[in-house]
Amino acid sequence: MSGTGSPELQLLGAGHAPAVLAFEVANRTWFAASVPDRGDDYFKHFAQRHHALLAEQESGRCAFHVLVADDGAVLGRFNLVDMDEGVATLGYRVAQQVAGRGVATATVQQLCRLATTRHGLHTINASVTRTTPHPAGCWSRPDSSRSDRRIRPTSTENPASATSGANSGTDSGTAAGDGPADLPDARRRHPYR
C-alpha cells in the first residue's frame, strides 16, 4: 500500500483526475478478469468522462468517492448512484495491491454510515458478479453492532439489497459489489463508473 498513514475516503473532485486515471490504468487487466473492461475509449476520453461524473454528482443523484493514500494515490473507488427516495446503488473497485486486506470492507462500512448522515439513505442495493468472490465476503460478514441488518448477496441476475431500519438512528446497511452495466432495472447504470 502507498504511504504510511491511513487512507482517507474523499468525495470525488476535479483534482483527483490524474490519480483516478493512474488507478484505472494500473489495475485495468486485474479488473477485466472479473468485470467487463472499460474499453480504450474510456481511457482516451477520460478527462471528459471525469468532468461528466462531477456534473452528475453535482445534480445530487450520485456521490462518487475515492479512497486516497497519504501520498495521493487512489486505492479504490466507492460510488453511490441512482440516489432516489432514500435508496441508492453501491459499487466499488479496489486496487489489486490492497485487495484481500479488509480495505474494501472497512471503506464500504464507512461509506454506508456517510450514506445515512450525508445523503439520507436508508437502503443500499448492490450487485456481485459470480466471478468475484471478495465482494460477497464484504456482505456476509456479520456486524455485531447491528442486529437489524439484513444482507442478501446475490448474483448480478438479481441485485442484492442491504437494508437497515431508517428510523433506528443507526447507519445504513453494508452493501458492496461491482455491478455490471446490464442490471435488470434499466435506470441503473454502472455503479463503479
| pLDDT at residue 156, rounded to an integer | 37
| pLDDT at residue 130, rounded to an integer | 58
Distances (CA, A) of 17 to 21, 37, 60, 151: 6, 19, 20, 33
CB-based contacts of 98-107 (< 8 A; 24+ apart in sequence) = 98/1, 99/134, 100/134, 101/1, 103/1, 103/7, 103/67, 103/75, 103/76, 104/76, 104/134, 104/135, 104/138, 104/176, 105/137, 105/138, 105/141, 105/176, 107/7, 107/9, 107/67, 107/76, 107/78
| pLDDT at residue 96, rounded to an integer | 97
Specify the amino acid at residue 5.
Answer: G
Which segments of the chain have a pLDDT < 50? 133-137, 139-190
| pLDDT at residue 5, rounded to an integer | 75
- Tens digit of pLDDT for each residue in 95-109? 999 999 999 999 999
| pLDDT at residue 126, rounded to an integer | 85
- Tens digit of pLDDT for each residue in 133-152? 444 445 444 443 332 333 33
| pLDDT at residue 90, rounded to an integer | 93
Provide the strand spans (E) within the chain: 8-11, 63-68, 74-84, 87-94, 123-126, 150-152, 160-163
